[in-house]
Amino acid sequence: MDLEALDVVREAFMLMLLISAPILAVGLVVGLVVSIIQAVTQIQEQTLVFVPKILAMVGTTLILLGWITVKIMEFSTEMFSWSPVSGT
């Protein structure tokens, strides 16, 4: 039973990483590009990077919303169909 619970937690964490990875990667790339532009133009405004990064991450989330929903529904179906086996 303990190993099955660990497998469920591991699958949940892997799903969380799979869903969040593309969104975080877009945020990383946009932040890097804006930082390079700031370095080249010598604009040292610290808050300038947040608006493009947030917009890009929200846009990516909206684009991937169908895929995210399918992944979460598959995981939910798997969890609801899973029945723990009594060890006693």
Q: pLDDT, tens digit, for every residue of 35-88?
A: 899 889 888 787 888 999 999 999 999 999 999 999 999 999 988 887 665 544
Q: What angle do CA 57, 15, 56 make, to 5 degrees?
A: 5
Query: Tell me, what's the pLDDT at 88?
Result: 47
pLDDT band at 28 (very low <50, low <70, confident <90, very high): very high
Domain count of the fold of the chain: 1
Q: Considering the domain boundaries, does residue 36 fall inside one?
A: yes
Residue 59 belongs to a domain: yes
- Residue 1: pLDDT band with limits 50, 70, 90: low
Q: Does the pLDDT value for residue 20 go beyond 80?
A: yes
Q: Is 8 among the domain residues?
A: yes
82 phi, psi to nearest 5 deg: -75, 130
Residue 61 domain flag: yes
Residue 51 lies in a domain: yes
